[in-house]
Amino acid sequence: MAMTIAAVAHDQKKAALADWVHRHQEQLRPHHLIATATTGSVIRKMVPGLDIRTVKSGPLGGDQQIGAMIADGLIDLLVFFPDPLTPMPHDVDVKALLRLALVYDVPCAFNPHSADLIVASRMLAPRPA
Residue of 19, 63, 72, 105 with catalytic role: 63
Contact 38, 102 (CB under 8 A): no
Residues 6 or more apart whose Cβ sits within 8 Å of residue 70: 6, 78, 97, 100, 101, 104, 106
The closest alpha carbon to 80, from 19, 10, 24, belongs to 10
Rounded to whole angstroms, the Cα distance separating 58 from 93 reads 8
Rounded to whole angstroms, the Cα distance separating 15 from 106 reads 24
Q: Tell me if residue 11 is catalytic.
A: no
Residues annotated as part of the active site: 63
